[in-house]
Chain A
């Protein structure tokens, strides 16, 4: 069996906030043409009809104010360019129009097309080039944070496309429940930054199973001591706030929080794992974003097998129901492990349902019941069961790399 899979004991997922693939990693097309990023042919019309091209003028903070709209109706406009007719075709031409709707400022609306130059994001771009970057990782639904994060926890959002209270409908268990109740038992934890930031999964997990949660300090300790659970989900800091140790800068990268703070956080998570050699050899870290935050991306989200739920027109806000049969906008996603060859580019399609699908398949094997969306989602780590398809296994090296980067934080 491949040694990368034989050695794998821990999967860690760090889910950041509200930035699209082109916005964060689009610059890398110029470095590696296999990476589906920014080209000169891309554009969006503004409110005057003029074509606005993407430009490497993104700022770390203070630019995307107001927060670009990323609720279902706005994302529908972004993807379909304002076409609401039956049989419409997605064209990714509505981003500038959508941002214009918020302030009626033509010049300001064009900033939604800005992206970061490679040297502005040394952590994310280095990781993308050093490990496996996913060309086709999409948000699970064309909508906001909480329902997208639900796909990462449950493989479904139980029919929700908004930010309202989301109560779990049986029988789809969270990935944490599946692991801790398995025979033999596995371990799982969600690490939130601190209690002032907390988690976005309150209604079900925090309220009923707070023992599943730890803080980021505990994550760092667990990495040092080698007591990380089989599966860990890490949440960034969602707010600027004071704490017992001083000022804590939001590091989730949600507009208008400082993007550099998020770079430091990603590096910190990576370093924590890498600085424990046993852990580094036995862990795969996925850095992914929950949704695109209303920011431009050029890749049309594909259709997908529908979920068993339908969101009614009142919930979608578009006048039409949604059967969860189309993915959301593309987001940055990078898989990190010393068993992954440098410069790996993955073209298969994934969304956040791939997270519980992968973790379940790797640790538990066959499992039901699961949502149709999760059952149909691709996995990013193959199960360590013969035969392992070498064309799909990303942890494919025979020998562990010794040339992986280090970050000075």
Chain B
């Protein structure tokens, strides 16, 4: 089967990151801005969207907010996984004698077993 060659445009002629943003990109920026406002402040960009005039500037903003959304969700998912592990760790911690603190035991002064409590593995 013959291979149909597909002409490749010359980026030097075609590429223009200074091209003014079109209506579609403006709408995309607006939608991303709405999403950005819901992100924690630390994840928001320092870009003033009304100052975005070119495709290159738009692409920069789009990247920052898209990545921030992904990162915020990833961070929340990681916290959820960590919280799920917590109940096991708490039980083990409660079973161990605390170091550096006097034990106030209701059996203080009375003879008790000196055997160490078994650690829950």
Contacts and interface: CB of A to CB of B under 8 A. Distances in A.
A403 interface: yes
A267 B56 CA distance: 25
A202 interface: yes
Interface string A300-318: 0000000000000000000
B17 to A, nearest CB: 5
B35 A404 contact: no
A232 interface: no
Most chain B CB atoms below 10 A, which of A165, A198, A200, A408? A198
B51 interface: no
Interface in B54-93: 55-56, 58-60, 62-63, 66-67, 69-70, 73
A146 B26 CA distance: 12
A206 B15 contact: no
Contacts of B6: 122-123, 260, 263-264, 267, 407-409
B9 A197 contact: no
Contacts of B19: 240, 256
Interface in B16-69: 16-17, 19, 22-25, 27-28, 30-32, 34-35, 38, 55-56, 58-60, 62-63, 66-67, 69
A255 B69 CA distance: 29
Given A196-B62, A198-B63, A407-B3, A240 B15 contact: yes
B94 interface: no
Contacts of A123: 4, 6
Contact of B24 (A17, A203, A409): A17
A240 B28 contact: no
B9 A210 contact: no
Contact of A163 (B27, B34, B56, B66): B27
Contacts of A408: 3-6
Interface stretch (A76-84, A134-142, A241-249): A241-249
B30 A165 contact: yes
A207 B68 CA distance: 10
B14 interface: yes
A238 B26 CA distance: 11
Interface in A165-217: 165, 194-200, 202-203, 206-207, 210-211, 213
B73 A202 contact: no
B31 A260 contact: no
Nearest to B58: A239
A199 B62 CA distance: 9
Interface string A107-132: 00000000000000011001000000
Contact of A404 (B1, B14, B32): B1
Contact of B59 (A202, A239, A254): A239
Given A200-B28, A202-B31, A207 B69 contact: yes
A241 B4 contact: no
Contacts of A213: 70
B109 interface: no
A264 B59 contact: no
A247 B17 CA distance: 9
Contacts of B28: 198, 200, 202, 238
Given A163-B24, A196-B59, A210-B69, 16 more contacts: A61-B9, A123-B4, A145-B27, A163-B23, A195-B63, A195-B67, A202-B28, A207-B38, A207-B69, A238-B24, A240-B55, A241-B60, A247-B15, A260-B14, A261-B14, A406-B3
Closest 3 CB pairs of A and B: A241-B59, A163-B27, A196-B59
30 contacts: A126-B4, A145-B24, A163-B24, A163-B27, A165-B34, A197-B62, A198-B28, A198-B66, A202-B34, A202-B35, A206-B35, A206-B69, A210-B69, A210-B73, A211-B73, A238-B28, A239-B17, A239-B59, A240-B15, A240-B19, A240-B56, A241-B55, A241-B59, A241-B60, A242-B59, A250-B55, A255-B22, A267-B6, A406-B3, A407-B3
